[in-house]
Amino acid sequence: MFRLVQCQDLIRIPPERFGEPFKDIAYERLKTRYEGIVTEDLGYIILVTDMEVESIGKIIPGDGATYHRATFTLLTFYPEIQEIVEGELVETEDFGAFVRIGPIDALLHVSQIMDDFISYDDRQAVLLGRETRRRLTQGDLVRARITAVSLSKGGASGKIGLTCRQPFLGKLDWIAEDVQKTKGTPPESKEEG
């Protein structure tokens, strides 16, 4: 789930940068400190936006820099267990597939793709169901449920586990076929043109 989070922090402006545009320096410092990290309470921090910085700062004895209070908004992605997500399959391996959801690739283990024995064709990078003949390959769009979330403290990593072994989850084309079957009508054919 994407969220906007209001935050406050102190920004240190070093004396060698006093002649540069004040807001540009503050924004650069906030971007460096926050963007691209993962925290347990915020999740994946994607972007710093809507920054307001007090123009009058404080000087600490022994440090020639000024410190300014900043109020800003962070755009974050915080995955929650049981959340339904959609994403693009970006890589297949013999143990499963990686699905891009938000700013991270989540693991869809081979045992969680479908109720069928799945084999992997490494030459074509395809996961294939033995009886259903359903295929998963790079570029496919997938709907899945988040089953596991592990966020590291203050780092740049985290792990997310997915499942598609529930009704109306899986490759979007499969879901459309299943919906058509329940309605008793044949699925629409896709013609290029």
> If you write DSSP's letter for every residue of 158-191 in order, what string do you get?
EEEEEE--STT-EEHHHHHHHHHHHHTSPPPPP-
Q: How confident is the model at residue 186 (pLDDT cuts 50, 70, 90)?
A: low
pLDDT at residue 1 is higher than 70: yes
- Domains detected in the chain: 2-77 (3.30.1490.120), 84-183 (2.40.50.140)
Answer yes or no: are the C-beta atoms of 96 and 31 closer than 8 Å.
Answer: no
pLDDT of residue 3: 94
pLDDT at residue 119 is higher than 60: yes
H-only helix segments in the chain: 22-34, 172-183
* Token couple for 42: 């915020």
pTM: 0.77
Helix, strand, coil in percent for the chain, rounding step 5: 15, 50, 35
pLDDT at residue 73 is higher than 90: yes
Answer yes or no: are the C-beta atoms of 100 and 90 closer than 8 Å.
Answer: yes
